[in-house]
Amino acid sequence: MPDTIPGSLRAYLHGLPGVDEVGVRRRAADLATRSIKTTAKRAALDLAVRMVDLTTLEGADTPGKVRALAAKARRPDPADPTAPPVAALCVYPDMIGVAAQALAGSGVGLASVATGFPAGRTPLEVKLADTRAAVAAGATEIDMVIDRGAFLAGDYGKVFDEITAVKAACGEAHLKAILETGELVTYDNVRRASWLALHAGADFIKTSTGKVAPAATLPVTLVMLEAVRDYRAATGRQAGVKPAGGIRTAKDAIRYLVLVKEIAGDDWLDPAWFRLGASTLLNDLLMQRTKLGTGHYGGPDYYTID
Amino acid sequence: MEIFEYAPAPESRSIVSIRPSYDLFIDGEFVEAKSGERIVTVNPADEEPLAEVAAAGEADVERAFAAARRAFERVWSPLPGAERGKYLFRIARIIQERARELAVLESLDNGKPIKETRDVDLPLVAAHFFYHAGWADKLAHAGLASTRPLGVAAQVIPWNFPLMMLAWKVAPALATGNTVVLKPAETTPLTALAFAEICQEADLPPGVVNIVTGAGDTGRAVVAHPDADKVAFTGSTEVGKQIARAVAGTGRRLTLELGGKGANIVYEDAALDQAVEGIVSGIFFNQGHVCCAGSRLLVQESIAEELLARLRARIERLRLGDPLDKNTDIGAINSAAQLARIRELAAAGEAEGATGWSPSCPIPERGYWFPPTVFTGVTQAHRIAREEIFGPVLSVLTFRTPEEAVVKANNTPYGLSAGVWTEKGSLMLWTASRLRAGVVWSNTFNVFDPASPFGGYKESGYGREGGRHGLEAYLG
């Protein structure tokens, strides 16, 4: 449920402390030099696998493709049963039925993008219908896009109300609000949009659709992690963060985990509070995982391409 | 649930081979000290001896100056600037090639984290040589009164950034055609001796760079030598004053880069999370062994509580320990003597009524260590607000208005650095133009570049190093 923002929304959001661009980039770059080796690397790789929202969001998606990906989500490494399943499978709304069937009984979450993904340029009623249909079809998580046009026009109330309405339409399903930070551009905007979405009731804030460049970056994720950390300190409610798009290597993923650990804290080092939206990342995580266990790389053909 | 903790990630020591004993570097060769005296340099992280080095006596210093004078007259000053530049470029490239080795050596001898030697010190050392190599054949275009070198420069450097301070001294001196007698600090001589090897590797003509190791007596002999045309010193204000007295009336040129008690001013509209980073890097970078450290935090009273809460939470995450671990943020205090001084001033802070706070980080049993410490309830009258601590100790004061911030910031015998944090451009300019400090950082702290002149006001010394201004100190 949305909580109350004191005074006018605009005054509140513009009253948040600013973000210094040079400083936030420097901090992110500094944390990217953390050296994660041996036991730390093993723990980080497994955690990263468990945090993956395995994603396919293509116009060319078919039931066959979604079923293949669902199998991968349940058992990412057929050669190694100790590899944990991923957090969730993320698909377009019309694929939920297929995905739900393929994932039944696995414990893997089923996320669906909704609300006119990726641009979000549809009337509110359509967005709500999109959301209700996705939940009805079996989605346990809804990844909505916020109205960036309204946000950039300063119509914060519209963005807030829309998130509130979608949250209500979600029912039991978890709501991730996609800020599409590549279109918000400034870190001040990212911070304001984060707080706006959190107050409006989002369970997660997510960087990007993956359809706009730049998608997830370390500094943007850092600002969002500061937001959920400070939001919990202010309200007592914990929310999650999901960088999505452009995270392709295990090295990248571990850098995100370092950010989570050092910016938000250990409480967020859990798939319930942090996700990595990705498709190709998973294979690199598995390859590095095998390398740590066996001392050698299996090569790309030892991992499934789905 | 399995939460990942950082496993030890030590940088290997094997890249460095430290000899058991080192001689002086005079006239292009390593030569035994006539004094016969030796000093031992230890690893401050575990108190284990690293090597023995010679302690140069007056006869040794005499030899070094004779070599420097000879090289100045016969080889270096007649050499065209473009040729001098080639040597400096060569030195810069060798430093880059040997960067990892030099970073490890610096961490071992100084106690600072490998993260800083690798990512800050060594890149800046190379950058200083590259920058000044570029000037060597362009002095006529620097817009300065003279392009003539002074002669032999006597240079004494401190232990906090051993190789970087060497670069700040040697690179401009050589680029402008001077030769050098340099004394590194007693507790951190090893990278200077590695630099001597680099001079050999670069085929630098003998006598252009001479390195005489030793303690205070050696330093006194170097700066008082009658054949020095120029004296350059970086270190404490106390020693700086002694040098100024010794040099006064001799006609020799002098630049001093001394202590500081930098104010870091945080206005209520600042970008708080980045200001916290700036405060941390301002005082905990290099264990606070930084002359331009932001050792006084001046925070606007309206946000003091919130800022300090964020600062404490941030400091709790600092990782103190093995300087060679790539994830270490805070290394060892450089020497037992420095640790004693930090302890004395921290005790004075408590005794005078300020409240100290440190995070719950474990302190290694061996070696010289002091946890990051924040003092609140500090007033202008406290010793910890006035005296340079040169350690990881922050004194927090509050202010109400911009006028008060500026008055308090300037109310110190020093004037080396200051920082200002605000999102409002006009307030930034208003404040920066009123601060009496050689460097004012705007929404950042402890950022250096060879193109930017560095130096102080008042008891922080005089003269500038780096940039066009830095060349002037070696021309006349």
- Contact criterion met (CB < 8 Å) for A19 and B5: no
> Is residue B163 domain-shared with residue B101, that is, in the same domain?
yes
What pLDDT, on the 0 to 100 scale, is given for residue B74? 98
Catalytic site residue from A53, A143, A147, A203: A143
Q: Which of A18, A22, A44 sits opposite B4 (nearest CB)?
A: A44
- Please give the average per-residue pLDDT across B463-476, as a whole number: 96
What pLDDT, on the 0 to 100 scale, is given for residue A306? 83
Q: Quick: pLDDT tens for B177-213.
A: 999 999 999 999 999 999 999 999 999 999 999 999 9
Percent of the residues in chain A that have a pLDDT greater than 90, as a whole number: 94
pLDDT tier for residue A196 given thresholds of 50, 70 and 90: very high
Angle CA B265–B269–B274, to nearest 5: 65
Are the C-beta atoms of B55 and B33 separated by less than 8 Å?
Answer: yes
Catalytic site residue from B11, B186, B291, B388: B291
- Please give the average per-residue pLDDT across A46-51, as a whole number: 98
Q: Quick: pLDDT tens for A203-253.
A: 999 999 999 999 999 999 999 999 999 999 999 999 999 999 999 999 999
Is the confidence at residue A130, as pLDDT, over 70?
A: yes
Domain housing B317 = 263-442
Look at residue B449 and tell me if it is in a domain. Answer: no
- Contact criterion met (CB < 8 Å) for A17 and B7: no
Residue A233, Cβ density class (10 Å: 0-12 exposed, 13-18 middle, ≥19 buried): exposed
* Chain A residues touching residue B278 (CB < 8 angstroms): 23
Look at residue B2 and tell me if it is in a domain. Answer: no
Is the confidence at residue B16, as pLDDT, over 50?
A: yes
Q: Quick: pLDDT tens for B27-66.
A: 999 999 999 999 999 999 999 999 999 999 999 999 999 9
What pLDDT, on the 0 to 100 scale, is given for residue A298? 83
> Is residue B99 domain-shared with residue B210, that is, in the same domain?
yes
Look at residue B337 and tell me if it is in a domain. Answer: yes
Look at residue B232 and tell me if it is in a domain. Answer: yes
Chain B residues 48-77 with CB within 8 Å of chain A: none
What pLDDT, on the 0 to 100 scale, is given for residue B156? 98
- Contact criterion met (CB < 8 Å) for A34 and B274: no
> Is residue B62 domain-shared with residue B175, that is, in the same domain?
yes
Q: Is the Cβ of B427 closer than 8 Å to some Cβ of chain A?
A: no
Q: How many beta-carbon pairs under 8 angstroms link A with B?
A: 74
Report chain B's mean pLDDT, rounded to a whole number: 97
What pLDDT, on the 0 to 100 scale, is given for residue A209? 97
> Is residue B241 domain-shared with residue B269, that is, in the same domain?
no
Q: Quick: pLDDT tens for B87-108.
A: 999 999 999 999 999 999 999 9
Whole-angstrom Cα distance, residue B422 to residue B264?
Answer: 11
What pLDDT, on the 0 to 100 scale, is given for residue B57? 97
> Is residue B42 domain-shared with residue B113, that is, in the same domain?
yes
CATH of the domain at B115: 3.40.605.10
> Is residue B175 domain-shared with residue B56, that is, in the same domain?
yes
What pLDDT, on the 0 to 100 scale, is given for residue A2? 64
Edge-first strand order for the sheet with B373-376 is B355-357, B373-376, B393-399, B296-300, B263-266, B417-421, B439-442
- Contact criterion met (CB < 8 Å) for A33 and B9: no
What pLDDT, on the 0 to 100 scale, is given for residue B153? 98
Chain B residues 299-358 with CB within 8 Å of chain A: 317, 326-327
What pLDDT, on the 0 to 100 scale, is given for residue B1? 42
Is the confidence at residue B3, as pLDDT, over 90?
A: no
Q: Quick: pLDDT tens for B290-303.
A: 999 999 999 999 99
Whole-angstrom Cα distance, residue B359 to residue B253?
Answer: 46
> Is residue B285 domain-shared with residue B245, that is, in the same domain?
no
Element (H or E) spanning A10, and its range? helix A9-14
* Chain B residues touching residue A24 (CB < 8 angstroms): 273-274
CATH of region A9-294: 3.20.20.70
Is the confidence at residue B276, as pLDDT, over 80?
A: yes
> Is residue B358 domain-shared with residue B416, that is, in the same domain?
yes
CATH of the domain at B273: 3.40.309.10
**Structural domain tally of chain B?**
2
* Chain A residues touching residue B115 (CB < 8 angstroms): 33
Q: Quick: pLDDT tens for A5-42.
A: 666 999 999 999 999 999 999 999 999 999 999 999 99
B238 belongs to the catalytic site = no
pTM of the model: 0.95
Look at residue B293 and tell me if it is in a domain. Answer: yes
A242 belongs to the catalytic site = yes
Look at residue B303 and tell me if it is in a domain. Answer: yes
> Is residue B285 domain-shared with residue B222, that is, in the same domain?
no
Look at residue B448 and tell me if it is in a domain. Answer: no
* Chain B residues touching residue A27 (CB < 8 angstroms): 274, 277
B291 belongs to the catalytic site = yes
Whole-angstrom Cα distance, residue B204 to residue B206?
Answer: 6
> Is residue B178 domain-shared with residue B270, that is, in the same domain?
no
* Chain A residues touching residue B269 (CB < 8 angstroms): 17-18
Q: Quick: pLDDT tens for A72-113.
A: 999 999 999 999 999 999 999 999 999 999 999 999 999 999
Edge-first strand order for the sheet with A52-55 is A240-242, A204-206, A174-178, A141-145, A109-114, A88-91, A52-55, A276-278
Look at residue B451 and tell me if it is in a domain. Answer: no
Cβ neighbour number for residue B28 with a 10 Å cutoff: 19
> Is residue B92 domain-shared with residue B158, that is, in the same domain?
yes
